[in-house]
Structure 1
Amino acid sequence: MSLNTISNIGVNIQEKATVIWNVADMLRGPFKPHEYGLVILPMTVVKRFNDCLMPTYNEVQETYQNVKHLAVIDGFLTTASGYQFYNISKFTFDSLLADPQNIEANFRDYLAGFSSNIQDILAKFDFDNIIKRMVESNTLYLVIREFNTPKGYLGPDKISAVDCGYIFEDLVKRFSESYGEEAGAHFTSRDIIYLMTDILLNEADLATEGNITVYDMT
């Protein structure tokens, strides 16, 4: 991979992460700068899941109606969604915004529709308490609206799983820095990883040596 390619990847990831992080403008006042990540990180995860599932939304809804009386339904729903997760809620980000008066109840219904593996992820974010704070500060609707704009789109047709991971890492870095922490304590940035790989494989003949094993002491 050339240095230009590495540079372009880094720029694209940072640009998308910046766009997402700028949603924090909606949070000024009710949330302190070091708390922005408490909203931005889980919302990024939820929006990624939402955008992944939208193409099979109708299939999942139809399948759920057909199998909801059965004792075990996960297999049917993951097959319908095309992923190892799904959402059976009738709500989407579009329909949530269409009913601002009931945004909290509808958003909670939307989140409750996710499969159990996604529920575990949301529980680790302590997202329930964050939603309460957004409702009290009248920012829940605004945040959902911002994430539903074209700039907040995180679908796999535009952003690969790898790039989405890099974007999330960049957001974690910004969150850490807002705490005044060292970002390096949480992850190694992409440019450093590329440089380390180039140094390690500098004298390797990849064409004839085949697989290369490298010991990572971390």
Structure 2
Amino acid sequence: SVLDANGREVAREVVQEGEQAPTAPDGGKVKLTPLSLIFSNEEFGYRTITVERPLCDEQGRLVLGERGKNKGKPQADGALRDTENVPLAEDVEVYFRREVLPHARDAWIDHEKTKVGYEIPFNRHFYVFEPPRPLDEIDADLKQVTDRILSMIGELSA
């Protein structure tokens, strides 16, 4: 089953055409298309984290905060600020160590700016590749169009 005791989706399941449709969270049946995919809500979620880098003066020394909670800590350089989208299912710190720190050893996360978002990437999950027409067929169409254009030009000059 893809639903927990509270009716929440808990796992992805692929249902092929002709199979029994699972129950939807509202108690109804899921309408099947040739291929139906069922996802948990968490699979569409992500956290947007703000990655900060330190501000340096002209000599390359760190500029430190002078008052408040930032006193003695490196100031963030707005020109070097970046964001990363981290899947909800993944730990932010693990992602940060794996994806950011190897490229920017002095970076840190500003957790106060972290936001949660959701996106349903239809193309990623439902795109079906359709191979292009055979080259011979395309060449024949081009020749036919070219011949028609040449005949129209010939009619104009006659």
Same fold (TM over 0.5): no
> Counting strand residues as a fraction of each chain, which structure ranks higher?
2
Looking at both structures, which has the greater relative contact order when contacts are Cα pairs under 8 Å and sequence separation is at least 6? 1
- Rg larger for: 2
Q: In which range does the TM-score fall when normalised by the shorter chain?
A: under 0.3
- TM-score scaled by length of structure 2: 0.21
- TM-score scaled by length of structure 1: 0.17
> Counting helix residues as a fraction of each chain, which structure ranks higher?
1
